[in-house]
Amino acid sequence: MSDSAPVRFVICGVGHIGRRHAALVARYPGAQLAALVDVRPELAGELAGEFPEIPFYTSLEKCFAAGCEADVLTIATPNYQHVPQAIAGLTHGLHVVIEKPIALRTHDAEAVVRMAEQTGRLVFGVMQNRYSPPAVWLKQLVQEGKLGQVYLVQINCFWNRDARYYCAGGWKGSQQQDGGTLFTQFSHFVDLLYWVFGDITNIGARFFDFNHEELTEFEDSGLVTFDLVRGGSGTLHYSTAVWDQNLESSLTVIAEHGSLKIGGQYMDKVEYCHLRNYTLPELPPTNPANNYGPYQGSAANHVHIIENVVETVQKRSHATTNALEGLKVVEIIERIYRLKSPKST
């Protein structure tokens, strides 16, 4: 493709997030929706109304066999399908966008990275917190050394995920297909930790299952402690056992030159900032939360992801979240989950 030609997307998995990708691609000036793929044939009529003249296929294989011309495959399917579909897309010569998590095991994420290297294609991980203005601001603060030595980092993720989310018979809540609370709900907060502060070591963890025993095969809450490789220590407290609605996502930093807290339900505002010789600038507004009907998710930053993919494929930018960083997040979560005992869930 020429650098100015529209970047053509196939969207695989047309649930809530897949439709968001499709709608944003259809509206984005440098992008073009090439095809929609979903295993549910009953969606064909509905999607034809939403996305007229866009071909619909019930499998990636059928899409490829039909000679669908595209540049990027966006994967918004259940977690366990991400790796085989990513490898299929890369093998077919497409760049790949993978909704979180890239994989459920480190060795599977490594296989995706190897295939990307072999095919010369790009892999983008969807880690939407990186586009949040408070997160961008924090990253810059750390890079510029404004905090001095980091002492303590505390991340709290307290969300509601009840029977409205974990529906009987679905993949969500299955150990093998979902992977666990940190993979499906909070991997983008682990990514934020890694992106801003670097790798962690000396991990300790406790896991609890307060009110999800009938809903999931894994924990609904966890208390994680760690040291930062660059110095300092931290905690990650998370739960999906909150009653009725999300409570908060927050990140607090205590450092040599001051303290700060990013808070709100979706880390969407700076709640406290007191740093030596520093005045907090006015930050751009954060996008509203993804709304899934009865429950909500993180900030809806997918338009920034599509923009980054288009500009990177057209060689005007570089990937905001590449496959190696996605692999690192999987590896950190796997290291945390290794501390589970058989009785901890």
CATH code, 13: 3.40.50.720
**Cβ proximity of 266 and 298 under 8 Å:** yes
143 and 277 share a domain? yes
Tell me the CATH number at 251.
Answer: 3.30.360.10
3-state helix, strand, coil in the chain (%, to 5): 30, 25, 40
Is position 326 within any domain? no
CA distance 9 to 32: 6
Number of domains in the chain: 2
Please report the pLDDT score of residue 2 as a whole number. Answer: 56
Q: In this structure, are 263 and 280 located in the same domain?
A: yes
Distance between CA atoms of residues 222 and 237, nearest Å: 6
- Residue 289 and residue 208 share a domain: yes
Asked whether residue 153 is domain-assigned, the answer is yes
> Domain check: are 275 and 139 in the same one?
yes
Of 275, 297, 319, which residue sits at a domain end?
Answer: 297
Say whether both 30 and 74 belong to one domain.
yes
**pLDDT over 70 at 231, yes or no:** yes
Q: Strand runs (DSSP E) across 178-268, as ranges?
A: 200-208, 221-228, 233-239, 248-255, 258-263
* pLDDT value for 299: 45
- Indicate the pLDDT class of residue 163, thresholds 50, 70 and 90: very high
Asked whether residue 166 is assigned to any structural domain, the reply reads yes
Same domain, residue pair 50 and 169: no
Same domain, 118 and 228: no
The pLDDT assigned to 282 comes to 94
Buried b (16+ CB within 10 A) or exposed e, 188-211: bbbbbbbbbbeebeeeebebebee
From CA 98, how far away is CA 296, in angstroms rounded?
A: 20
Q: 3-state DSSP call for residue 206?
A: strand
Domain of residue 18 covers 7-125+306-311
Whether 100 is covered by a domain: the verdict is yes
Same domain, 171 and 249: yes
pLDDT tens, position by position, 12-39: 999 999 999 999 999 999 999 999 999 9
Shared-domain flag, residues 73 and 175: no
Residue 318 maps to a domain = no
CA gyration radius for the chain? 20
Asked whether residue 1 is assigned to any structural domain, the reply reads no
What is the tens place of the pLDDT at every residue in 322-339? Answer: 889 999 999 999 999 999
**pLDDT (0 to 100) of residue 317:** 83
Q: Is 269 in the same domain as 150?
A: yes
Sign for the CA dihedral angle at 161, 162, 167, 173 comes to: positive
| Type of residue numbered 155 | I
* pLDDT score, position 321: 79
Q: Domain check: are 50 and 81 in the same one?
A: yes
Q: Residue 324: is it exposed, middle or buried by C-beta count within 10 angstroms (0-12/13-18/19+)?
A: middle
Please state, in angstroms and rounded to a whole number, the distance separating the CA atoms of residues 70 and 96: 11
Q: Identify whether 343 is part of a domain.
A: no
Contact (CB, 8 A) for 302 and 126 = yes
Q: How far apart are CA 54 and CA 34, in angstroms?
A: 6
In a domain, 148, yes or no: yes
Q: Are 62 and 116 members of one domain?
A: yes
CA distances from residue 71 to 14, 31, 33, 89, 102 in whole angstroms, order as listed: 18, 10, 10, 10, 19
DSSP 121: -
pLDDT in tens, 247-301: 999 999 999 999 999 998 778 899 999 999 999 999 988 766 555 455 455 445 7
